[in-house]
Structure 1
Amino acid sequence: MKIGIDKLHFATSHLYVDMAELATARQAEPDKYLIGIGQSKMAVIPPSQDVVTLAANAAAPMLTATDIAAIDLLVVGTESGIDNSKASAIYVAKLLGLSQRVRTIEMKEACYAATAGVQLAQDHVRVHPDKKALVIGSDVARYGLNTPGEPTQGGGAVAMLISADPKVLVLGTESSLLSEDVMDFWRPLYHTEALVDGKYSSNIYIDYFQDVFKNYLQTTQTSPDTLTALVFHLPYTKIGLKALRSVLPLVDAEKQAQWLAHFEHARQLNRQVGNLYTGSLYLSLLSQLLTDPQLQPGNRLGLFSYGSGAEGEFYTGVIQPDYQTGLDHGLPQRLARRRRVSVAEYEALFSHQLQWRADDQSVSYADDPHRFVLTGQKNEQRQYLDQQV
């Protein structure tokens, strides 16, 4: 039985800050951001959006009534949770109008959690082939203003419908995993921004990739030449390029050139958004499938998922004949229509998120064009609105 990704859709803010402008404001050379980390624009998440609304906005446009009737599992992977007890998936299920008979859970392991959701969903659909699972990686990446991690912020959500006989990508049943207690990145409960040892984390990322990639090749007896392209978790796009370069000696010069060319397409959309944490790998997959004219049905893609702390996994998927019909074709145009904000506007929006306190709060959402918005907090409960109702 073939199980995999049937549909793939993305949502982010309607706002962005230009990375060259941010670099100048931080008294850094623009090329440090544009080339050094490989980012051109960074999504600015307004107070009217959080992981719940981003997740719902990512999933809603791709779901048909038939999909909604078949979904009996919803997994939201996030490290930007809004509650220490209640799963964000429950809020998302309500906004999407899913059945009350749906299993709704939230998963956490830094940027890896959405992949854990995909693997769980695969197994679920394999047992229940008439059902579908909705997996969403949704996050708001925050390191703080004027911090070393600031240029690797961003936010958004990638929604994936997992089904039998998928339109987009049939996922392999074998993978290679590595998990170990590593303090490269963490966020204690009393912090609203993550703590990170940037250089150490980058080294761990590449070490993990080399380990799971080579282990996968060995244990599955796979030749690297059979992989059309390698798709990476991209908290910033330069890190994926470094990881790719580290395994180029495993293939000949022609294959090296092909992998490098494919990677430029895989990072095209990530360059315009920034860090999605759990969704970063799958935005890169969407970018690969949307923008790479050299891809063909039957091509096999390698996917590397990584979550600091740390956990890594490498697995593969095969592109299906009708893969274009399951993709978010409006995404490039939506990104092009976003409004550019000044550094001062970005800083104000960053500092005026819903506060972690008990009193009632309201959020301005008049300028937010998205269907689902956060309007504030009342009686210690977040308030969500469907603007189409």
Structure 2
Amino acid sequence: MRTEQTRLTPVGIDDMAAYIPKIYLPIATLAEERNLEYAKLNKGLGLEAMAVADAHEDVATMAANAVLELMEKNRLRPQEVGRIYMGTESSVDGSKPMATYVLEMLTQYYEALYGPDCFLNCDVVDLTFACIGAVDALQNTLDWVKGGENRIGIVVGSDNAKYELGSGGEYTQGAGSIALLVKQNPRLISIGDAWGVATRPVHDFFKPLRIATKESLLHEALKLAGKGSQAAREALSRLAEMPPNGGVLTSSEANIMLHKETPVFDGPYSNACYQERIREALTHFAPQAGYDVQAEAISGNWDKMAFHLPYAFQARRMFPEVYLMEAKATGKWASWAKEYGLEEPARENFGDEAAFEKAHGQFLRAISKTDAYQVFVQEKIAAGERASSLVGNLYTSSIFLSLMSILETALEGGEELQGRRFGFFAYGSGSKSKVFEGELQAGWKEATRQFRLMERLARRTAIDYYTYEQLHRGQAAESALPVQNEFFLKEICHEKGVLEGARTYARATEAAVLEPGA
């Protein structure tokens, strides 16, 4: 019999667990190799290190490791978990969810005690919308938890944020997974019903299926071998006479669809989309939560704010527009502008849109350099940047890494957060933002003490540039570190047939040096 839940029962995040790879590349090492000025990356963007996935790791192993820790420290039985919803933009399959691989690994771990069907009634799915997929999963799971007493759900974000070597996004890379325990009467933070949403269909960052003709592939390969265009045409002609046998070139299609881990992106445009979407989502959120965006600074109601952080200082660089909006709403802008000598550019004073946008950007940067804004950053944003500086971009888990960083920093500093409210700004390219708020609960310290996030990050091993590049290219002969007490990718089936591409996973208990899945 279903038990109806009253609206007074709080729902939210009861606990969190992070899995970050045990190896990292210092940003100083990358800067030296790329002839980049380290100070600009460190002081300008807040970058110190990037987490790097080892040869035996992928998004499924990282997620399984995070979920297992969450279940173990909360002594959860598999049958108690009603769903595991996964946010990722790093899937390696166009049909089979990564969450099913996570479930497979968890079943391997628990079946000796609970049987092979211990997760039979657990609902799993992947949600994909760039970096906001795990927030979508959280919102969905919160609604599900409200629908029945004692429902327990897990949300996990897992990604390998990878860019082309030498590209403008390379130094923002990262890898890892964060799992959230979602339930009624949470120890950590309750989340309200108000959700601001802003969505516009744009192409700021995406990972399309690239189309390549067989002729172009043959031409490129034969050119590298010192052959000419005629050889490519002759090879293509012979291909047409061969029966399809499931090979890459001998398939029946004229074109080859290529999926790359790295994105097509426009950095400046994506930043502009980020700025606009979070402002629009905040405006949508305000009346739902009982705030007046025209008359108050909504951020003033929040003790801290957690953001999606493509790089550590993204939020402090993108928030001045909202800060300006709130200064105007509270009637403080005129005196504040006079104090700091700021003059907002007017669109009608510029001959073209590009000139105005440039002037407006310079104006917002001037706001970000004022003493008042710097104090605002230190009070509300900076604590969420600490872990990001050491890890890099986690895509779907980035906003939750920010939250863990805030909570650990507050615990270290002896802050009392019970009853305080946090604001959350999520963003996914393509593009969408969601804004919501949460209230810290009485058990936040108890839960946060078990994170040990900074302690674990301090124990990681730095790798050199050569090792990083081999891992990035997928050419590493073995894992950089021995594999112990974690799940790993054991094998990828390359044989033609009904299991081509299937991935097999296992768990290492004793330390072992592993070759990548063959």
Aligned partner letter, 1:300: R
Alignment check: 8 A CA contact 1:363 1:374 kept: no
d(CA) in 1 for partners of 2:507, 2:378: 42
Written as runs of structure 1 = structure 2, the 5 A alignment for 1:346-357 is 346-352=468-474
Task: Say which of 454, 460, 465 aligns to 1:338.
Answer: 460
The 3-state SS of whatever aligns with 2:488 is strand
Task: Say which of 287, 290, 300 aligns to 2:408.
Answer: 290
Alignment check: 8 A CA contact 2:316 2:377 kept: no
Alignment check: 8 A CA contact 2:86 2:127 kept: yes
Alignment check: 8 A CA contact 1:365 1:374 kept: no
Written as runs of structure 1 = structure 2, the 5 A alignment for 1:68-107 is 68-97=78-107, 99-107=119-127
Alpha-carbon deviation of 1:244? Answer: 2.9
Q: From the CA coordinates, give the structure whose radius of gyration is larger.
A: 2
The 3-state SS of whatever aligns with 1:345 is helix
Report the counterpart of residue 357 of structure 1 in structure 2: none
Alpha-carbon deviation of 1:295? Answer: 4.8
Instruction: Identify which range, 290-299 or 15-24, moves more after superposition.
Output: 290-299
Alpha-carbon deviation of 1:230? Answer: 1.6
Report the counterpart of residue 115 of structure 2 in structure 1: none
Distance 1:30 1:165, change over 3 A: same
Alpha-carbon deviation of 1:364? Answer: 4.6
The 3-state SS of whatever aligns with 2:193 is strand
Aligned partner letter, 2:509: Q
Report the counterpart of residue 316 of structure 1 in structure 2: 437
The 3-state SS of whatever aligns with 1:118 is helix
Alignment check: 8 A CA contact 1:229 1:259 kept: no
Task: Say which of 144, 149, 166 aligns to 1:146.
Answer: 166
Alignment check: 8 A CA contact 2:163 2:262 kept: yes
> What is the TM-score normalised by the length of structure 1?
0.93
Report the counterpart of residue 368 of structure 2 in structure 1: none
d(CA) in 2 for partners of 1:340, 1:25: 15
Alpha-carbon deviation of 1:59? Answer: 1.5
Task: Say which of 208, 230, 239 aligns to 1:188.
Answer: 208
Distance 1:134 1:71, change over 3 A: same
Report the counterpart of residue 182 of structure 2 in structure 1: 162
Alpha-carbon deviation of 1:344? Answer: 1.6
Aligned partner letter, 1:104: V
Aligned partner letter, 2:156: I
Task: Say which of 369, 382, 385 aligns to 2:503.
Answer: 382
Q: CA RMSD in A?
A: 2.1
Distance 1:101 1:261, change over 3 A: same
Alpha-carbon deviation of 1:245? Answer: 3.0
Aligned partner letter, 1:194: P
Distance 1:366 1:153, change over 3 A: closer
Aligned partner letter, 1:14: K
Alpha-carbon deviation of 1:218? Answer: 3.9
| Greater percentage in strand | 1
Report the counterpart of residue 286 of structure 2 in structure 1: 217
Alignment check: 8 A CA contact 2:88 2:130 kept: yes
Alpha-carbon deviation of 1:183? Answer: 0.3
Q: Deviations over 1:269-300 (max 9, x none)?
A: 11100011000000001111111233511110
Aligned partner letter, 2:320: R
Distance 1:298 1:66, change over 3 A: same
Alignment check: 8 A CA contact 2:195 2:288 kept: no
Structure 1 residue runs of 5 or longer lacking an equivalent are: 355-361
Instruction: Identify which range, 238-247 or 108-117, moves more after superposition.
Output: 238-247
Report the counterpart of residue 398 of structure 2 in structure 1: 280
d(CA) in 1 for partners of 2:376, 2:12: 25
Distance 1:110 1:182, change over 3 A: same
Alpha-carbon deviation of 1:259? Answer: 4.8
d(CA) in 1 for partners of 2:132, 2:441: 25
Aligned partner letter, 1:29: E
Task: Say which of 371, 376, 383 aligns to 2:486.
Answer: 371
2:122 aligned with 1:7 = no
Aligned partner letter, 2:396: T
Alpha-carbon deviation of 1:155? Answer: 0.8
d(CA) in 1 for partners of 2:372, 2:151: 42
Report the counterpart of residue 202 of structure 1 in structure 2: 271
Alpha-carbon deviation of 1:256? Answer: 7.3
Distance 1:169 1:67, change over 3 A: farther
Report the counterpart of residue 111 of structure 1 in structure 2: 131
2:36 aligned with 1:16 = no
Aligned partner letter, 1:137: G
